[in-house]
Protein backbone atom coordinates (compact mmCIF):
# COMPACT_ATOMS: atom_id res chain seq x y z
CA UNK A 1 0.00 0.00 0.00
CA UNK A 2 2.71 2.46 1.03
CA UNK A 3 4.76 1.60 -2.06
CA UNK A 4 1.91 2.42 -4.44
CA UNK A 5 1.25 5.71 -2.65
CA UNK A 6 4.95 6.48 -2.70
CA UNK A 7 5.18 5.88 -6.45
CA UNK A 8 2.18 8.09 -7.14
CA UNK A 9 3.61 10.82 -4.89
CA UNK A 10 6.88 10.99 -6.81
CA UNK A 11 5.15 11.22 -10.18
CA UNK A 12 2.92 14.05 -8.96
CA UNK A 13 5.81 15.97 -7.44
CA UNK A 14 8.01 15.69 -10.52
CA UNK A 15 5.14 16.94 -12.65
CA UNK A 16 4.36 19.81 -10.30
CA UNK A 17 7.96 20.89 -10.04
CA UNK A 18 8.33 21.05 -13.81
CA UNK A 19 4.98 22.57 -14.60
CA UNK A 20 4.44 19.96 -17.31
CA UNK A 21 0.87 19.68 -18.56
CA UNK A 22 1.04 16.96 -21.20
CA UNK A 23 2.50 13.97 -19.40
CA UNK A 24 0.86 10.56 -19.93
CA UNK A 25 -2.29 10.01 -17.92
CA UNK A 26 -1.32 6.51 -16.85
CA UNK A 27 0.80 5.97 -13.78
CA UNK A 28 4.18 4.41 -14.60
CA UNK A 29 5.43 1.40 -12.69
CA UNK A 30 8.11 3.41 -10.94
CA UNK A 31 8.84 6.90 -9.82
CA UNK A 32 8.42 9.38 -12.61
CA UNK A 33 8.16 10.28 -16.23
CA UNK A 34 10.80 11.60 -18.61
CA UNK A 35 8.58 12.78 -21.41
CA UNK A 36 10.22 16.16 -20.97
CA UNK A 37 13.73 16.98 -19.88
CA UNK A 38 14.30 17.86 -16.28
CA UNK A 39 17.17 20.22 -17.14
CA UNK A 40 15.40 22.43 -19.63
CA UNK A 41 15.55 21.40 -23.27
CA UNK A 42 18.74 19.39 -23.43
CA UNK A 43 17.03 16.89 -25.70
CA UNK A 44 17.14 19.35 -28.60
CA UNK A 45 20.16 20.76 -30.36
CA UNK A 46 19.95 24.49 -30.88
CA UNK A 47 22.29 26.49 -33.07
CA UNK A 48 21.90 30.24 -33.22
CA UNK A 49 20.65 30.78 -36.79
CA UNK A 50 23.13 32.26 -39.23
CA UNK A 51 22.85 35.82 -40.46
CA UNK A 52 21.29 36.23 -43.90
CA UNK A 53 23.84 36.19 -46.69
CA UNK A 54 24.69 39.47 -48.40
CA UNK A 55 26.54 40.22 -51.65
CA UNK A 56 29.79 38.29 -52.20
CA UNK A 57 28.91 35.81 -49.45
CA UNK A 58 27.00 33.25 -51.48
CA UNK A 59 23.46 32.72 -52.66
CA UNK A 60 21.23 35.44 -51.30
CA UNK A 61 18.21 33.24 -50.82
CA UNK A 62 19.81 30.46 -48.80
CA UNK A 63 20.62 27.81 -51.38
CA UNK A 64 19.27 26.35 -54.58
CA UNK A 65 16.48 23.83 -54.12
CA UNK A 66 15.27 21.84 -57.08
CA UNK A 67 11.83 22.96 -58.18
CA UNK A 68 11.80 26.03 -55.94
CA UNK A 69 11.74 29.66 -57.03
CA UNK A 70 15.12 31.31 -56.56
CA UNK A 71 15.60 34.84 -55.20
CA UNK A 72 16.07 37.70 -57.59
CA UNK A 73 19.36 39.63 -57.59
CA UNK A 74 19.15 42.34 -54.96
CA UNK A 75 20.13 45.99 -55.20
CA UNK A 76 23.25 47.22 -53.39
CA UNK A 77 21.03 49.30 -51.08
CA UNK A 78 19.18 46.19 -49.87
CA UNK A 79 22.43 44.34 -49.25
CA UNK A 80 23.89 47.25 -47.31
CA UNK A 81 20.82 47.46 -45.06
CA UNK A 82 20.90 43.74 -44.32
CA UNK A 83 24.65 43.94 -43.68
CA UNK A 84 24.06 46.67 -41.08
CA UNK A 85 21.34 44.58 -39.46
CA UNK A 86 23.63 41.54 -39.39
CA UNK A 87 26.41 43.58 -37.80
CA UNK A 88 24.10 44.87 -35.07
CA UNK A 89 22.84 41.38 -34.27
CA UNK A 90 26.30 39.79 -34.33
CA UNK A 91 28.09 42.47 -32.29
CA UNK A 92 29.87 41.33 -29.11
CA UNK A 93 27.07 43.13 -27.28
CA UNK A 94 24.14 42.57 -29.67
CA UNK A 95 22.16 45.66 -30.55
CA UNK A 96 18.83 43.97 -31.10
CA UNK A 97 16.70 47.10 -31.38
CA UNK A 98 18.96 48.42 -34.13
CA UNK A 99 19.02 45.04 -35.89
CA UNK A 100 15.23 44.82 -35.79
CA UNK A 101 14.91 48.35 -37.17
CA UNK A 102 17.29 47.64 -40.04
CA UNK A 103 15.65 44.33 -41.01
CA UNK A 104 12.27 46.07 -41.04
CA UNK A 105 13.72 48.79 -43.25
CA UNK A 106 15.02 46.07 -45.59
CA UNK A 107 11.50 44.65 -45.78
CA UNK A 108 10.20 47.99 -46.97
CA UNK A 109 12.93 48.35 -49.60
CA UNK A 110 12.45 44.80 -50.96
CA UNK A 111 9.32 43.11 -49.58
CA UNK A 112 9.90 40.04 -51.75
CA UNK A 113 13.35 39.29 -50.24
CA UNK A 114 13.12 36.45 -47.71
CA UNK A 115 16.39 37.42 -46.07
CA UNK A 116 14.99 40.41 -44.19
CA UNK A 117 12.14 38.35 -42.70
CA UNK A 118 14.46 35.52 -41.71
CA UNK A 119 16.94 37.98 -40.22
CA UNK A 120 14.16 39.48 -38.13
CA UNK A 121 13.20 35.98 -37.01
CA UNK A 122 16.81 35.43 -35.90
CA UNK A 123 16.68 38.54 -33.76
CA UNK A 124 13.49 37.31 -32.11
CA UNK A 125 14.92 33.81 -31.52
CA UNK A 126 17.99 35.30 -29.85
CA UNK A 127 15.65 37.03 -27.40
CA UNK A 128 13.36 33.99 -26.98
CA UNK A 129 10.49 35.90 -28.56
CA UNK A 130 9.32 32.73 -30.25
CA UNK A 131 5.82 33.80 -31.25
CA UNK A 132 7.23 36.72 -33.22
CA UNK A 133 10.01 34.52 -34.59
CA UNK A 134 7.49 32.03 -35.97
CA UNK A 135 5.59 34.78 -37.77
CA UNK A 136 8.80 36.18 -39.29
CA UNK A 137 10.08 32.80 -40.51
CA UNK A 138 6.70 31.87 -41.93
CA UNK A 139 6.69 35.11 -43.88
CA UNK A 140 10.19 34.37 -45.18
CA UNK A 141 8.96 31.02 -46.50
CA UNK A 142 5.85 32.60 -47.94
CA UNK A 143 8.07 34.97 -49.93
CA UNK A 144 10.48 32.20 -50.90
CA UNK A 145 9.50 28.57 -50.09
CA UNK A 146 13.06 27.51 -50.91
CA UNK A 147 14.74 29.63 -48.24
CA UNK A 148 16.36 26.78 -46.37
CA UNK A 149 17.82 28.86 -43.54
CA UNK A 150 14.32 29.44 -42.15
CA UNK A 151 13.33 25.79 -41.65
CA UNK A 152 15.33 24.72 -38.60
CA UNK A 153 14.84 27.88 -36.51
CA UNK A 154 11.14 27.88 -37.40
CA UNK A 155 10.73 24.29 -36.21
CA UNK A 156 12.69 25.01 -33.03
CA UNK A 157 10.55 28.07 -32.31
CA UNK A 158 7.35 26.09 -32.83
CA UNK A 159 8.60 23.40 -30.45
CA UNK A 160 9.50 26.06 -27.88
CA UNK A 161 5.87 27.23 -28.03
CA UNK A 162 4.63 23.63 -27.60
CA UNK A 163 3.14 23.80 -31.09
CA UNK A 164 4.39 20.27 -31.52
CA UNK A 165 2.45 19.08 -34.55
CA UNK A 166 3.49 22.14 -36.55
CA UNK A 167 7.09 21.62 -35.48
CA UNK A 168 6.92 17.98 -36.58
CA UNK A 169 5.61 19.00 -40.00
CA UNK A 170 8.46 21.49 -40.49
CA UNK A 171 11.07 18.97 -39.39
CA UNK A 172 9.60 16.45 -41.81
CA UNK A 173 9.84 19.00 -44.62
CA UNK A 174 13.43 19.71 -43.62
CA UNK A 175 14.29 16.02 -43.84
CA UNK A 176 13.27 16.10 -47.51
CA UNK A 177 15.77 18.94 -48.05
CA UNK A 178 18.51 17.61 -45.75
CA UNK A 179 18.07 13.84 -45.48
CA UNK A 180 21.61 13.37 -44.16
CA UNK A 181 21.37 15.89 -41.31
CA UNK A 182 21.27 14.04 -37.96
CA UNK A 183 20.41 17.23 -36.09
CA UNK A 184 17.01 17.30 -37.78
CA UNK A 185 16.27 13.68 -36.83
CA UNK A 186 17.47 14.31 -33.27
CA UNK A 187 15.17 17.28 -32.77
CA UNK A 188 12.27 15.49 -34.44
CA UNK A 189 12.77 12.63 -31.99
CA UNK A 190 12.60 15.05 -29.06
CA UNK A 191 9.28 16.48 -30.26
CA UNK A 192 7.85 13.01 -30.87
CA UNK A 193 8.75 12.06 -27.30
CA UNK A 194 7.13 15.22 -25.97
CA UNK A 195 3.88 14.20 -27.64
CA UNK A 196 4.04 10.58 -26.42
CA UNK A 197 4.74 9.28 -29.93
CA UNK A 198 7.48 7.07 -28.55
CA UNK A 199 7.75 4.58 -31.41
CA UNK A 200 8.37 7.42 -33.86
CA UNK A 201 10.73 9.02 -31.37
CA UNK A 202 12.72 5.81 -31.21
CA UNK A 203 12.89 5.59 -35.01
CA UNK A 204 13.99 9.21 -35.45
CA UNK A 205 16.69 9.05 -32.77
CA UNK A 206 17.94 5.75 -34.19
CA UNK A 207 18.27 7.41 -37.59
CA UNK A 208 20.24 10.28 -36.05
CA UNK A 209 22.60 7.75 -34.47
CA UNK A 210 22.93 5.89 -37.76
CA UNK A 211 23.78 9.07 -39.67
CA UNK A 212 26.33 10.15 -37.10
CA UNK A 213 27.95 6.74 -36.99
CA UNK A 214 28.96 5.24 -33.70
CA UNK A 215 32.39 4.10 -34.81
CA UNK A 216 34.39 7.32 -34.61
CA UNK A 217 33.62 8.90 -37.97
CA UNK A 218 32.59 12.51 -37.54
CA UNK A 219 29.63 13.93 -39.36
CA UNK A 220 30.80 17.21 -40.86
CA UNK A 221 28.50 20.07 -41.64
CA UNK A 222 30.43 23.08 -40.49
CA UNK A 223 28.22 23.93 -37.53
CA UNK A 224 27.80 20.38 -36.27
CA UNK A 225 29.49 19.01 -33.14
CA UNK A 226 29.19 15.26 -33.43
CA UNK A 227 29.48 14.07 -29.83
CA UNK A 228 26.95 16.58 -28.55
CA UNK A 229 24.32 15.48 -31.04
CA UNK A 230 25.19 11.79 -30.64
CA UNK A 231 24.80 12.03 -26.86
CA UNK A 232 21.44 13.76 -27.19
CA UNK A 233 20.29 11.24 -29.78
CA UNK A 234 21.05 8.38 -27.40
CA UNK A 235 19.26 10.26 -24.64
CA UNK A 236 16.21 10.74 -26.84
CA UNK A 237 16.38 7.05 -27.69
CA UNK A 238 16.43 6.25 -23.98
CA UNK A 239 13.47 8.56 -23.38
CA UNK A 240 11.51 6.81 -26.12
CA UNK A 241 12.26 3.37 -24.69
CA UNK A 242 11.28 4.63 -21.24
CA UNK A 243 7.98 5.93 -22.61
CA UNK A 244 7.31 2.44 -23.95
CA UNK A 245 8.25 0.98 -20.54
CA UNK A 246 11.21 -0.81 -22.10
CA UNK A 247 13.38 0.16 -19.16
CA UNK A 248 16.37 -2.10 -19.74
CA UNK A 249 16.87 -0.77 -23.28
CA UNK A 250 16.31 2.76 -21.99
CA UNK A 251 19.04 2.34 -19.40
CA UNK A 252 21.52 1.08 -22.01
CA UNK A 253 20.84 4.08 -24.27
CA UNK A 254 21.06 6.63 -21.46
CA UNK A 255 24.31 5.14 -20.16
CA UNK A 256 25.71 5.45 -23.67
CA UNK A 257 24.61 9.09 -23.79
CA UNK A 258 26.46 9.77 -20.55
CA UNK A 259 29.58 7.94 -21.76
CA UNK A 260 29.75 10.06 -24.91
CA UNK A 261 29.18 13.34 -23.09
CA UNK A 262 29.96 12.94 -19.36
CA UNK A 263 28.61 16.45 -18.74
CA UNK A 264 25.14 15.59 -20.08
CA UNK A 265 23.17 16.21 -16.89
CA UNK A 266 19.86 15.30 -18.48
CA UNK A 267 21.18 11.88 -19.46
CA UNK A 268 22.25 11.15 -15.90
CA UNK A 269 18.99 12.41 -14.42
CA UNK A 270 16.84 10.49 -16.88
CA UNK A 271 18.98 7.42 -16.25
CA UNK A 272 18.06 7.74 -12.59
CA UNK A 273 14.38 7.88 -13.46
CA UNK A 274 14.68 4.89 -15.78
CA UNK A 275 16.53 2.76 -13.25
CA UNK A 276 13.98 3.69 -10.62
CA UNK A 277 11.18 2.66 -12.97
CA UNK A 278 13.00 -0.64 -13.45
CA UNK A 279 13.23 -1.17 -9.68
CA UNK A 280 17.03 -0.88 -9.77
CA UNK A 281 17.16 1.53 -6.84
CA UNK A 282 20.84 1.28 -5.93
CA UNK A 283 21.85 2.11 -9.50
CA UNK A 284 19.29 4.91 -9.63
CA UNK A 285 20.91 6.43 -6.55
CA UNK A 286 24.29 6.47 -8.25
CA UNK A 287 22.84 8.09 -11.38
CA UNK A 288 21.20 10.85 -9.34
CA UNK A 289 24.47 11.41 -7.47
CA UNK A 290 26.25 11.87 -10.79
CA UNK A 291 23.62 14.38 -11.89
CA UNK A 292 24.11 16.29 -8.64
CA UNK A 293 27.88 16.32 -9.12
CA UNK A 294 27.34 17.96 -12.48
CA UNK A 295 24.69 20.36 -11.21
CA UNK A 296 24.68 20.62 -7.40
CA UNK A 297 21.61 22.87 -7.31
CA UNK A 298 19.39 20.63 -9.45
CA UNK A 299 16.49 20.50 -7.01
CA UNK A 300 14.59 17.69 -8.72
CA UNK A 301 17.64 15.43 -8.51
CA UNK A 302 17.88 15.93 -4.74
CA UNK A 303 14.15 15.35 -4.45
CA UNK A 304 14.17 12.11 -6.44
CA UNK A 305 17.34 10.92 -4.72
CA UNK A 306 15.59 11.32 -1.36
CA UNK A 307 12.57 9.40 -2.63
CA UNK A 308 14.82 6.63 -3.92
CA UNK A 309 16.56 6.37 -0.55
CA UNK A 310 13.13 6.11 1.01
CA UNK A 311 12.31 3.24 -1.36
CA UNK A 312 15.15 1.21 0.17
CA UNK A 313 14.14 2.26 3.72
CA UNK A 314 17.17 4.51 4.21
CA UNK A 315 15.35 7.29 6.05
CA UNK A 316 18.57 8.95 7.27
CA UNK A 317 19.95 9.52 3.76
CA UNK A 318 16.52 10.65 2.59
CA UNK A 319 16.40 13.28 5.33
CA UNK A 320 19.95 14.38 4.49
CA UNK A 321 18.79 15.11 0.93
CA UNK A 322 15.80 16.97 2.35
CA UNK A 323 18.14 19.23 4.34
CA UNK A 324 20.13 20.00 1.18
CA UNK A 325 16.96 20.63 -0.78
CA UNK A 326 15.71 23.19 1.76
CA UNK A 327 18.52 25.55 0.78
CA UNK A 328 17.83 25.11 -2.95
CA UNK A 329 14.04 24.96 -3.26
CA UNK A 330 12.11 25.40 0.01
CA UNK A 331 8.73 24.78 -1.63
CA UNK A 332 9.79 21.44 -3.13
CA UNK A 333 11.54 20.56 0.15
CA UNK A 334 8.31 21.15 2.07
CA UNK A 335 6.46 18.74 -0.20
CA UNK A 336 9.19 16.17 0.27
CA UNK A 337 9.13 16.59 4.05
CA UNK A 338 5.36 16.10 4.20
CA UNK A 339 5.88 12.71 2.59
CA UNK A 340 8.97 11.59 4.50
CA UNK A 341 7.46 12.20 7.95
CA UNK A 342 4.27 10.22 7.26
pLDDT of res. 17: 32
Do the Cβ atoms of 146 and 174 come closer than 8 Å? no
* CATH class of segment(s) 49-178: mainly alpha
Q: pLDDT per residue over 169-188, tens digit each?
A: 999 999 998 898 888 999 99
CA-wise closest residue to 103 among 127, 128, 125, 78 = 78
C-alpha to C-alpha distance for 183 and 188, rounded to whole angstroms: 8
The structural domains of the chain, with segments of one domain joined by +, span: 49-178
3-state helix, strand, coil in the chain (%, to 5): 65, 0, 35
Q: Name the strand (E) or helix (H) holding 100.
A: helix 96-109
Q: What is the mean pLDDT of residues 24-43?
A: 38
Residue bearing the bigger pLDDT, 54 or 55:
54
C-alpha to C-alpha distance for 161 and 126, rounded to whole angstroms: 15
pLDDT confidence band for 76 (50 / 70 / 90): confident
The 10 Å CB-count burial string (b at 16+, else e) for 32-44 is: bbbbbbbbeebbb
pLDDT confidence band for 56 (50 / 70 / 90): low
Do the Cβ atoms of 35 and 193 come closer than 8 Å? yes
Helices and strands (DSSP H and E) totals, the chain: 16, 0
C-alpha to C-alpha distance for 2 and 22, rounded to whole angstroms: 27
Amino acid sequence: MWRKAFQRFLLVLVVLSLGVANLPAQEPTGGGSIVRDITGGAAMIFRAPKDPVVANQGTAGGGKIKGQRQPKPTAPKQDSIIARANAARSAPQPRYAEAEQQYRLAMQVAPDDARSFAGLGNVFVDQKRFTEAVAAYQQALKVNPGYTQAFLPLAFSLAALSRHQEAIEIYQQTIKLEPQNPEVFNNLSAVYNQTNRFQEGMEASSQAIKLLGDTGQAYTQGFQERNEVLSYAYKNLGNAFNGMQRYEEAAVALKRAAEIEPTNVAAQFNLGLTLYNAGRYSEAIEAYKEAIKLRPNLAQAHFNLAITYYAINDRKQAMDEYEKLKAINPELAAKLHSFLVK
